Amino acid sequence: MSHFDLFVIGAGSGGVRAARMAAAQGVKVAVAESRYLGGTCVNVGCVPKKLFVYASEFVAAPEASKNFGWDFEVPQFNWQRLRENKNTEIARLNGIYQRLLDNSEVTTFDGAAKIEGPGKVSINGEVITADKILIATGGWPSKPDIEGAEQGITSNEFFFLEELPKKVLVVGGGYIAVEFAGILNGLGVDTKLSYRGDKLIRGFDEDVRSHLTTEVAKSGIDVDLGRSPQKITKTEDGYVVEFSTGDALTVDLVVFATGRSPLTDQLGLENTNVQLAENGAIKVNEYFETSEAGIFALGDVIDRVQLTPVALHEAMQFVANEFKGLPKKGMDYDLIASAVFSQPNVATVGITEQQANERFSNIDIYLSEFRALKETISGGDARTLMKIIVDKDSDKVLGMHMVGEHAGEIIQGFAAAMKMGITKTVLDSTVGIHPTSAEEFVTMREPVSR
């Protein structure tokens, strides 16, 4: 019977990082993966999504370039070429992950691992013991509980479609939904986005939500708010989607982007004292310890902040706590920047205006909405939004939000400044880079009235 100091279930971003960093401390480590190295992000998440976003943005360039003096022939798009080139890139990344594990002398098991009890795992008919077990299985896309939901696909299947459909319904209003809708619309697909709420990307700042909802609709996507599908039926003409309002729509494809659930099925948790939250997430304390001694969990499966960089940091903190002999510390979840690769992009760091009003008694809001320089000649009508939230008593910047081109690239730098406790006075004293959109963040001087 094989024995390891650490057995990691799940070779996504968090699991691979934990395995490698633990092995670097001289720990005997094994990792098991039943699907693909790199997890959701590399294979059916952020990496292929961003590649598809790039592809969808090229189509606007010929038209936008005309007033800059360029003339191009009508562009032709080849879906199969994009899909296969994406597959080649993902295979390359899979190979890198395998080499990283091999070079770290981590034993890799290809298969589904099941916990048989504390310190005991079975995989491919073999029983393995371990001092510590780390669960890093991530999440899985979910579908709504409606009749015919099995007729629709999720993000798992989206990246492998044989043909690009002509008419698609994307169901959902979160970041995955608006990203997929933007991709499809950019690639020339007749795209409808259906969401039961009144604005897109719930949980973001309300000004950001309102602005993005308007801009997405301007881009050509049919944004359908305030209702949701109730039934899907397959017919000779495609899929008939019946809505809560009583009307129906026929499309070639239905894409569900209605959330993700922690992936804990068939892990054997019933053989342990590990406790789950109502949504299926594994309950852990600040040190990623479950209610069963020797079993830990991190990443999307614990449903704290579902972002790849967060899982990486959690893995580093787990290794520091368990294998470096240092005093245990919890993960710092404060001021985590994030981006939505919608069209236009959204990026944010810090708290929303609504959260600021709940926590602080005296805040200032700086808000700017403008047409970027590029749009003035290209003839586009896209507008950029930038917002700063400040604690008036301390002058400390509490939140920075942006909707517009390159929002993620711009906010990343300001995230570091906010982590250092930047104040509005410091922003005001910073000389901007002209002409850029980013300089607007250091030139807003007058707060808005609320």
pLDDT digits (tens, 9 = 90+) for 112-147: 999 999 999 999 999 999 999 999 999 999 999 999
- In 198-237, the DSSP E strands lie at 222-225, 229-235
The catalytic site residues sit at 434
SS3 label, residue 359: helix
Tell me the mean pLDDT per 10 residues along the chain, length 450. 95 98 98 95 96 95 91 90 97 97 97 97 96 98 97 97 97 98 98 97 98 97 96 97 94 97 96 96 98 98 97 98 95 97 98 98 97 90 97 98 98 98 98 97 94
Q: Tell me the helices (H) and strands (E) count for the chain, helix number first.
A: 13, 21
**Beta-carbon contacts of residue 345 (< 8 Å; ≥ 6 apart):** 339, 402, 403, 404, 405, 406, 407, 408
- Provide the edge-to-edge strand list for the sheet that holds 363-370: 338-340, 346-350, 397-403, 384-391, 363-370
Q: What is the pLDDT of residue 448?
A: 96
Cα–Cα distance for residue pair 188/56, rounded to 1 Å: 8
SS3 label, residue 36: coil
**Beta-carbon contacts of residue 20 (< 8 Å; ≥ 6 apart):** 100, 101, 104, 106
Its pTM stands at: 0.95
Q: From residue 299, give the alpha-carbon distance in Å to each of 43, 90, 304.
A: 16, 21, 8
Q: What is the pLDDT of residue 74?
A: 78
